[in-house]
Amino acid sequence: MMHIVKKAEISKTDNFKIRCIAILLSLLVLGMFLLVIKLNPIDVYAAIIDGSLGSTYSIKQTLIKAIPLIITSLGISIAFKMQFWNIGGEGQIVMGAFAASFFALKFPHMDKFPLLLLMFCAGILGGGLWALIAALLKGKWKTNETIVTLMLNYIALKFITYLQYGPWKDKRAMGFPKIPNFSPNATLPDVFGIHMGWIIAIILVILVYIFMKYTKKGYEIAVLGESEKTAIYAGIKIRKTMYIAIFLSGALCGIAGVIQASAVSRTLTAEVAGGAGFTAIIIAWLSALSAPIIVIVSILFAALLQGASFIQTAFGIPQAAAQLIQAVILFFVLGSEFFTRYKINFRTVNFQKKGGNKNE
């Protein structure tokens, strides 16, 4: 008989070993899959690394993919630290991009720096207020934040689709449902060949780390996440702390939306988030809600995405097969979380029979 027991604690060495075993097992399973579709696993794995880190261009593309993952994961981690399950990063990215796009399209000829500053302020408010809806409903009526934030994603996406086909439709697009492109003044400049979103990401990682580790409000968020009763006993204002934390969570997602709309899409589309809001949930969880570790995991995840995209072209495999490779690796890595927290004990069971005792 198997008995699952929660581990008291696990050393960093054991944790690392479990992760490595999970990755090796995923590569073994994927190897069998690749052999079935008549591909050499070693060639495919080498191509994933080459496609994500093998050249200056591929490294830049990997970093570009990592930027929204880092910033969104930081936002998600603040909410998760308080055990507020914010599943709405996707919608908050979209609404941050929407708010920034309003000013980008309204004032295309404004000077670059003031316009970008205005766009970021709008994006912070757009993402923060969109997340705050779920916090207010939870504070007032104890609603389930997981369901509310998830549903708000679809409202945000459909709203942008409405704008594409309706009020913001580009009249010069010959009937194609798209929103006009941003002017050069509304696009982020490049720094070392990559848009300056990477500088913003680094600054935000440092700020979030300091906020969560060394400020009173960060401490209150952590205490509230551990125990609401303890937080009340310590004199922490529950609702106020929750509202501040969730606004910050959404605001960070909104910043990611501004960067994606301004530097990558250079317009507003329903695909501006690109799944980063959902991916950030996995990254935040794997990073144990630690800002520095979020950077590492986000880059590795972006490398996997970039590498999978590369092998799709290099080997002529369908998109579904490339996504399956990502999914299998994630499945094993996430599954390893179980073994970092629990262990399985095998017990002998005694069966009493008329003829005597028998152990099995």
Per-residue pLDDT of the chain (360 residues; tens, 9 = 90+): 677 778 777 777 888 888 889 999 999 999 999 999 899 999 999 999 999 999 999 999 999 999 999 999 999 999 999 999 999 999 999 999 999 999 999 999 999 999 999 999 999 999 999 999 999 999 999 999 999 999 999 999 999 999 999 999 998 888 889 999 999 999 999 999 999 999 999 999 999 999 999 999 999 999 999 999 999 998 999 999 999 999 999 999 999 999 999 999 999 999 999 999 999 999 999 898 999 999 999 999 999 999 999 998 899 888 888 888 888 988 998 888 888 888 777 776 565 554 555 444
Q: What is the pLDDT of residue 181?
A: 96
> What single-letter DSSP state applies at residue 343?
E
Q: What is the pLDDT of residue 325?
A: 87
> What single-letter DSSP state applies at residue 272?
S
Give bridge partners of residue 352 from the DSSP assignment: 357
User: What are the angstrom distances between the C-alpha of 201 and each of 11, 259, 285, 289?
Assistant: 30, 10, 19, 16
Side-chain-side CA neighbours of 236 within 13 Å: the count stands at: 26
> What single-letter DSSP state applies at residue 289?
T
Round to whole Å and give the CA distance between 145 and 226.
18
- Domains of the chain plus CATH, in order, are 12-39+317-343 (no CATH), 66-316 (1.10.3470)
Torsion, Cα of 133, 136, 142, 148 (10° steps): 10
Residue type, 245: A
Q: Is the separation of the CB atoms in 253 and 92 below 8 Å?
A: yes
Q: What is the pLDDT of residue 60?
A: 96
Q: What is the pLDDT of residue 318?
A: 87
Q: What is the pLDDT of residue 138?
A: 95
Q: What is the pLDDT of residue 352?
A: 58
Round to whole Å and give the CA distance between 128 and 132.
6
- Residue 145 CB coordination number (10 Å): 22
Give me the phi and psi of 157, to 5 degrees please: -65, -45
Round to whole Å and give the CA distance between 115 and 111.
6
Give bridge partners of residue 356 from the DSSP assignment: 353
Q: Is the separation of the CB atoms in 75 and 92 below 8 Å?
A: yes
Please state at what angle helix 197-214 crosses helix 238-259, rounded to 10 degrees. Answer: 170
DSSP states along 220-261: HHHHHHH-HHHHHHTT--HHHHHHHHHHHHHHHHHHHHHHII
Round to whole Å and give the CA distance between 325 and 51.
15
Q: What is the pLDDT of residue 173?
A: 86
Round to whole Å and give the CA distance between 223 and 225.
5
Q: What's the predicted TM-score (pTM) here?
A: 0.91
Within its chain, how far is the Cα of 302 from the centroid?
11
